[in-house]
Structures are given as structure tokens and as C-alpha cells.
Amino acid sequence: MSHAEKDQQESRDAAEERRHTRFGALPERVRPEEMVEERPAIAQDPARNAYNDEEWMVRYGL
């Protein structure tokens, strides 16, 4: 094995070691519950539930 081939092999070994360090293990498992964020589609409107049918009758019916 020539000097150039030996350097090339060492370079490949170093690259393999770096790849193994970076990609050698899988990331932690993410549970399905952790992948979902629940929040209301729109903000609650306080005037939405403020309607009172009896008040309407008193206001416009009498």
C-alpha cells in the first residue's frame, strides 16, 4: 500500500467516524400525543352567548 493510499484510507476512516458520531443513533421516539397541539380554531366571542330571547321580546314586543 502506497503512502497516498494509506492517507486516503485514514481519511475515509475519519469520515466514517464523523458520520457515525453524527448519525450513529436514532433520535428519541416522539409519541403521537406529543405531535398534536390542541387549541380553539377561533377565539371565543363574549357577545356570542350574550343573547337573551326574553330581553328581545321585552325590547321589541312591548
Q: What is the pLDDT of residue 29?
A: 92
CA trace torsion 7, 12, 13, 18 (10° rounding): 130
pLDDT given for residue 58 in this prediction: 78
pLDDT digits (tens, 9 = 90+) for 37-60: 888 788 777 777 777 777 777 777
User: Cα separation of 13 and 5, whole Å?
Assistant: 12
Helices marked H in the chain: 3-23, 53-61
Tell me: the pLDDT tens digits for 8-26? 888 888 999 999 988 888 8
d(CA 14, CA 20): 10
- Position 60 scores a pLDDT of 79
Reply yes or no on whether the pLDDT at 27 is more than 70: yes
